[in-house]
Structure 1
Amino acid sequence: MLDISAATWAVTIGLIVALLAVDLLLAALRPHRVGFREATAWSVFYILIAIGFGVWFAVTYGGDFGTQYFAGYIVEKSLSVDNLFVFVIIMATFAVPEEHQHKVLTFGIILALIMRAIFIAVGAALLSLFSFMFLLFGLLLIFTAVQLFRHRDEDPDVENNIMIRATRRLIPISDEYDGGKLFTRANGRRMATPMLAVLVAIGSVDLLFALDSIPAVFGVTSEPYIVFTANAFALLGLRALFFLVKGLLDRLVYLSTGLSIILAFIGVKLVLHWGHVDINPSIPEVDTYLSLVVIVVILTIVTVASLIKTRRDPSAKAHPGSLRATRRDEERPDAAR
């Protein structure tokens, strides 16, 4: 059992809040188009911070806990790339001006961290009280993996998102942006700008991803501190990573397939752990070192295979995948075949 003092928690949260504050201030004080060099520098900065923290953590608390952190970080980083796919779709759907994309992403990351912190607290409490939660989390991940694999070549239908539809019913939304404002006046009437719809879309997507990613990282470690830091450091680099790789995302044609395999693997790992604890100690478990190797190997194969595929077939395009058939697919005459 990992014993983390209140002071360590406070310093860790303070570091994360400070990094977020810098990101938010940059977005608010100097709205601009983020170029390749700037995005690269920030991406390297956040990765080095995550690695540095992991090295400190391993030296301070032991190699096993350090391995759990790095395995959790890699899982969350790979799932966050799928986040980026959806963020790109949202930005394109609502035609967000480039100078305000930084602000939208920072808001999305803050909201994602808040949601994940809530889910981590709830998940940790449930796992400590009810061991069968490992079974439920495992089955949830396996179901998610199957759905993601079935709809791996689809894009989520952002406009038909239930939160977006509810927002449009409750609040009139203008057709034009007003800088980075959420509300404006049009024809003497107070209205929301499309920026509000973008933030609602980002928030609802964050909620869905939190429901999947938290059980996934609990499949690697049951330590709340490791779950929180792995999530936090993976998400902190998301804003810079968006601007760095958004032009390359279309080439990761097998990413959704790879993520579905990873989620299924972690789901099976959780079910085996439940069986080992509650049914029979002779039921084998998958240790963290093997999990780390499997996840890295899957991601490497997926990336290399995707680049080979798009090099041979330049028309091939990646999709983030969906957990259900989109309305467009449901309306196609051949959708049921």
Structure 2
Amino acid sequence: MNTVGTPLLWGSFAVIVLIMLAIDLLMQGRRGEQTMSLKQAAFWSIVWISVSLLFSAGLWWYLKGTAGPEIAHTQTLAFLTGYVLEKALAVDNVFVWLMLFSYFSVPTSLQRRVLIYGVLGAIVLRTVMIFAGSWLVSEFSWILYIFGAFLLFTGVKMATGGGHDGDPGDKPVVRWLRNHLRMTENLEGEKFFVRRNGLLFATPLLLVLIMVELSDVIFAVDSIPAIFAVTTDPFIVLTSNLFAILGLRAMYFLLANVAERFSMLKYGLAIVLVFIGIKMLIVDLYHIPVAVSLGTVGGILAVTLLINAWVNHRRDRQMSQR
């Protein structure tokens, strides 16, 4: 697998991730069951984005000195494009988490632990999936066409209302777990397991955690192939992906109270997936430059947010006139 990743770059990335995770977990440990406030969520979201941008600047500086300005520009743009893609697609994942917590009636004070384990699990799962995907692409280059067709299909399905909707309680995995696990009727604080009369019981919070992890796997199946459309370098794919999901918990608390105001986002994400799918399918006929991809993705998301703001303004005005 060809990669710009050197031992120094891999080591620096690992150290940054471990430090930020340690800080994040330490802050949560001090907070106890108290949830993250909107102000704190906004602060940490800015911190995560700032760290990601500083990393991209450091990456550009390092590659410029070791591989030349052309490679530095290309790979840094690829990192930023992958980061924006994953960050945008992660918003849809956050909405699914909101739906899961609402369905299982998990209070805000108990969501903290599920989100911590959810993000940690996502880091491990996505690392495995990205390296597996990189190996497949390096061994079977034609698999990029399958990725492209899948993204095109997913984008169309999302736009026509066939996304990840539905009642969580009706999912086969939920029914199977409830039928095969001894489970308490109610939540037991932040515990995933409790003992009663010498028997081990799972709590509904464990069920929520499993569904959170499964939802991330489902979304990773969309987002990881999308980044492979930008670059097949495993270092760029992994770093852009993980930097985007490391701030997911803060993003969740930032969006928790305003999720209903992003009703148009799924259509913008659908267009992004269709664009990326087409980009992969025509790669042998025309290679869309990374800078164009970044501009297109950013433009689509910006227009989507403007349309969303107009829709919200119109809805608010109609509500005030009633």
* TM-score relative to the length of structure 2: 0.90
In the aligned structure 1, how far is the partner of 2:163 from the partner of 2:261?
13
Q: Give the unaligned 5+ runs of structure 1.
A: 277-282, 317-337
Q: Deviations over 1:182-204 (max 9, x none)?
A: 11245775321111011011011
Cα 1:256–1:152 shift into 2, 3 Å: farther
- Matched with 1:304 is 306
**236-245 or 157-166: bigger deviation:** 157-166
- Matched with 1:107 is 117
Contact conserved, 1:24 with 1:103, CA < 8 A, in 2?
A: no
Q: Deviations over 1:157-215 (max 9, x none)?
A: 31122322221111122122222111124577532111101101101101101111110
In the aligned structure 1, how far is the partner of 2:317 from the partner of 2:182?
39
In the TM superposition, what is the alpha-carbon distance from 1:3 to its structure 2 partner? 2.7
| Corresponding letter in the other structure for 1:115 | L
In the TM superposition, what is the alpha-carbon distance from 1:311 to its structure 2 partner? 1.7
Contact conserved, 1:69 with 1:230, CA < 8 A, in 2?
A: yes
Contact conserved, 1:164 with 1:200, CA < 8 A, in 2?
A: no
Contact conserved, 2:263 with 2:308, CA < 8 A, in 1?
A: yes
1:202 aligns with 2:244: no
Contact conserved, 1:120 with 1:214, CA < 8 A, in 2?
A: yes
| Corresponding letter in the other structure for 1:33 | T
Quote the RMSD (CA, aligned, Å).
1.9
**26-35 or 295-304: bigger deviation:** 26-35
In the aligned structure 2, how far is the partner of 1:174 from the partner of 1:226?
44
- Matched with 1:93 is 103
Contact conserved, 2:81 with 2:230, CA < 8 A, in 1?
A: yes
Query: Pairwise mapping of residues 1-337 of structure 1 onto structure 2 (< 5 A)?
Result: 2-29=3-30, 30-61=32-63, 62-151=72-161, 155-186=165-196, 189-273=199-283, 276=284, 283-314=285-316
Q: Deviations over 1:40-63 (max 9, x none)?
A: 111111110011111111222211
Cα 1:154–1:135 shift into 2, 3 Å: closer
In the aligned structure 1, how far is the partner of 2:80 from the partner of 2:226?
14
In the TM superposition, what is the alpha-carbon distance from 1:15 to its structure 2 partner? 2.0
**184-193 or 132-141: bigger deviation:** 184-193
In the TM superposition, what is the alpha-carbon distance from 1:270 to its structure 2 partner? 0.8
Cα 1:315–1:218 shift into 2, 3 Å: farther
| Corresponding letter in the other structure for 1:15 | I
SS at the partner of 1:313?
helix
SS at the partner of 1:173?
coil
SS at the partner of 2:282?
helix
Q: Deviations over 1:122-151 (max 9, x none)?
A: 111111111101101101111111111121
SS at the partner of 2:201?
strand
SS at the partner of 1:304?
helix
| Corresponding letter in the other structure for 2:134 | A
Q: Deviations over 1:85-128 (max 9, x none)?
A: 00111111111121221221121111111111111111111111
In the aligned structure 2, how far is the partner of 1:166 from the partner of 1:19?
37
Which 4+ runs in 1 deviate beyond 6 A? Answer: none
SS at the partner of 1:191?
strand
| Corresponding letter in the other structure for 1:193 | T
Percent identity over the alignment is 32
- Number of corresponding residues: 308
Q: Give the unaligned 5+ runs of structure 2.
A: 64-71
Cα 1:186–1:95 shift into 2, 3 Å: farther
* TM-score relative to the length of structure 1: 0.86
SS at the partner of 2:150?
helix
| Corresponding letter in the other structure for 1:225 | F
In the TM superposition, what is the alpha-carbon distance from 1:64 to its structure 2 partner? 1.2
SS at the partner of 1:190?
strand
In the aligned structure 1, how far is the partner of 2:207 from the partner of 2:274?
33
| Corresponding letter in the other structure for 1:304 | L
Contact conserved, 1:152 with 1:257, CA < 8 A, in 2?
A: no
Q: Deviations over 1:210-266 (max 9, x none)?
A: 111110111111111111011111011111111112212211111111111101100
Contact conserved, 2:4 with 2:235, CA < 8 A, in 1?
A: no
- Matched with 2:67 is none
